[in-house]
Amino acid sequence: MQRVAVSALRTATLRRAREETMKTATLGRTGIVTPANGFGALPIQRVDDETAVSILRNAWEGGMTFFDTARAYSDSEHKLGLAFGNWGKPDPADPNGWRGPKREEISIATKTMAKTPDKFWDDLETSLAQLKTDYVDIYQFHNPAQCYRPGDGTGMYEAMLEAKAQGKIRFISVTAHRIGVAEEEVASGLYDTMQYPLNYLSTQRELDLLQKCIDADMGFLGMKGMSGGLISNSRAMMAYVANLDNYVPIWGIQRQSELDEWLSYMHDTPEMTPEIEEFIERERTELQGDFCRACGYCMPCPVGIKINQCARISLMLRRAPSASWLTDEWQTEMAKIDDCLNCGQCSAKCPYELDTPRLLRDNYADYKRVLAGETKVD
Residue ending a domain, choose from 243, 264, 281? 281
* Closest to 73 in 3D by CA, of 95, 52, 94: 52
Please give the biggest Cα pair distance in the chain: 64
| 58 phi/psi in degrees, rounded to 5 | -65, -35
In this structure, what CATH number is given to the domain that contains residue 125? 3.20.20.100
Judge contact between 112 and 120, C-beta under 8 A. yes
Together in a domain, 208 and 328: no
Together in a domain, 25 and 139: yes
Amino acid at 286: E
CA end-to-end span of the chain, whole Å? 44
Together in a domain, 211 and 333: no
Together in a domain, 226 and 273: yes
Residue ending a domain, choose from 246, 281, 316? 281
Q: Looking at the domain assignment, is residue 122 inside a domain?
A: yes
Write down the pLDDT at residue 290.
Answer: 76
Residue ending a domain, choose from 263, 281, 299? 281
Judge contact between 223 and 195, C-beta under 8 A. yes
Write down the pLDDT at residue 285.
Answer: 87
Q: Strand pairing of 107-112 and 193-197?
A: unpaired
Write down the pLDDT at residue 286.
Answer: 81
Write down the pLDDT at residue 227.
Answer: 85
* Closest to 185 in 3D by CA, of 197, 173, 201, 169: 173
- CA-to-CA separations, 338 to 53, 342, 373, in angstroms, rounded: 42, 10, 21
Domains in the chain, number: 2
Together in a domain, 258 and 166: yes
DSSP 299: P
Q: Looking at the domain assignment, is residue 286 inside a domain?
A: no
Q: Per-residue confidence of the chain (378 residues) as pLDDT tens digits?
A: 334 444 445 555 554 555 456 789 999 999 999 999 999 999 999 999 999 999 999 999 999 999 999 999 999 999 999 999 999 999 998 888 999 999 999 999 999 999 999 999 999 999 999 999 999 999 999 999 999 999 999 999 999 999 999 999 999 999 999 899 999 999 999 999 999 999 999 989 999 999 999 999 999 999 999 988 888 899 999 999 998 989 999 999 999 999 999 999 998 999 999 999 999 999 888 876 678 888 888 999 999 999 999 999 998 888 778 899 999 999 999 999 999 999 999 999 998 889 999 999 999 999 999 999 999 987
Write down the pLDDT at residue 5.
Answer: 42
Give the Cα separation of 142 and 176 in Å (integer): 7
Q: Which helix (H) or strand (E) holds 194?
A: strand 193-197
Q: Which domain holds residue 345?
A: 307-371
DSSP 203: -
Q: Looking at the domain assignment, is residue 302 inside a domain?
A: no
Sequence-distant (≥ 6) Cβ neighbours of residue 327 within 8 angstroms: none
Give the Cα separation of 174 and 123 in Å (integer): 15
Write down the pLDDT at residue 13.
Answer: 53
Dihedral, CA of residue 345, residue 347, residue 352 and residue 354, to nearest 10? 160
